[in-house]
Amino acid sequence: MYRKYFHNKYFYTGLVFLVWMIFFDQENFIEQYHLTKTLNDLDSKKEFYQEEIAQNEEKIKLLETDAEYLEKFAREKYFMKKENEDVFVIIRE
């Protein structure tokens, strides 16, 4: 029963085409899988960076409008101080 399918020229042509598309073609299935995986990774990174950009824009807006937040930011990040003040930096290990 299966013998008539295996001794058919269309079966061999289809088999050769399938092997060619899986392994030897420039845009084979394996390469397409890797490209799709890379694209998904890049999309997730894009979402992450867009969220980071939104958060940084909010911080910039706060720094431009809120003087107290600006002073707090300068003291914490750059260890700035007012005159006649001492700043002690505590490093926890």
- 63 within some domain: yes
- 93 within some domain: no
What is the C-alpha separation between 54 and 57, in angstroms, rounded? 5
pLDDT of residue 60: 95
- 42 within some domain: yes
- 83 within some domain: no
Domain that holds residue 42: 3-78
- pLDDT one-digit tens code per residue, 54-69: 999 999 999 999 999 9
pLDDT of residue 51: 97
**CB of 63 closer than 8 Å to CB of 73:** yes
pLDDT of residue 46: 97
- 71 within some domain: yes
- 31 within some domain: yes
The pTM (predicted TM-score) of the whole model is 0.56
- In the predicted model, is pLDDT for residue 4 greater than 80? no
Average pLDDT over residues 12-30: 83
Mean pLDDT computed over every residue of the chain:
87
- 52 within some domain: yes
Q: How many domains does the chain have?
A: 1
